[in-house]
Structure formats: C-alpha cells, structure tokens
Amino acid sequence: MNKAELVKRVARHTGLTKADVLRVLDAVVVQVTRALRRGDEVKLVDFGTFLVSHRRARAAHNPYSGAAMKVPARRWPRFSPGKRLKALVR
C-alpha cells in the first residue's frame, strides 16, 4: 500500500476528506521525523515504537577493489513493532 492508497482508505473509514487525511498524515510524519532527529522515541501503544539506534564505527573493505576502509559511526532510524501488531500480523 502506498501513501495515496492509505489516505483513501483512512478517508473512507473515518468520513474525513482526503485532503484532511493527507494533512494529518503529513503532520504525523513531520512530527515523528523531528522527534527522531532529536533522538527521542515515538511510542504508539499496541502499534510500535519508532526509535534511533546508534551504529558504531567499523572497519570494512571495498568489494570491488578490496581496499580497507573505515565506516563512520551513524544514527539509524528503526521501528520496533508492538505486541498487538505482532499478534495481528501472525
């Protein structure tokens, strides 16, 4: 399902217009992104948690040349599904 399909289904389910649903969805995405950039977690009970994990710097090699290289440390967004979401998907 893509964004347009999600907006259409939520509009049909809630009785809101597609434009209203699109504004709300965009606002949610912006707020989740801002929270993750600050390093905060976003917990949606029964759905899951959006969080930022930290990857350490590590040594690697270039698969084409075989040359050694260093991969820098970085922050990486993650989603951890909640208990209820896991149960519903199974």
For the segment 24-53, what is each residue's pLDDT rounded down to a tens digit?
999 999 999 999 999 999 999 999 999 999
For the segment 49-89, what is each residue's pLDDT rounded down to a tens digit?
999 999 999 999 999 998 999 999 999 999 999 999 999 99
Residue 39: both structure tokens together: 């390093």
Q: Is the pTM of this model over 0.85?
A: no
**Whole-Å CA distances, 86 to 8, 9, 66:** 25, 22, 41
pLDDT of 48: 96
Instruction: Identify the burial level of 58 via C-beta atoms within 10 angstroms of its C-beta, where 0-12 means exposed, 13-18 middle and 19 or more buried.
Output: exposed
Which of 70, 51, 43 minimizes the C-alpha distance to 59?
70
Cβ neighbours of residue 58 closer than 8 Å, sequence gap 6 or more: 70, 71
* DSSP tag of 3: H
pLDDT of 80: 96
Summary mean pLDDT of the chain: 95
